[in-house]
Amino acid sequence: MAPELIVIHGISLPPGQFGGPHIDHLFTNALDPAGHDYFRDIAGLRVSSHLLIRRTGEVVQYVPLHRRAWHAGRSGYRGRQQCNDFSVGIELEGTDDQPYTGAQYRRLATVIRLLRRGVPSLATAPIVGHSDVAPGRKTDPGPAFDWPRLRALLVPRVGRRPARKP
- Give the catalytic positions in this structure: 91
CA distance 49 to 41: 19
What is the amino acid identity at position 32? Answer: D
What is the amino acid identity at position 140? Answer: D
Residue among 47, 153, 121, 122 at smallest CA distance from 91: 47
CA atoms within 13 A on the CB side of 17: 10
126: which residues sit within 8 A by CB, 6+ positions away?
5, 6, 77
- Asked if 91 and 49 count as a contact pair (C-beta separation under 8 A), the reply is yes
DSSP 99: P
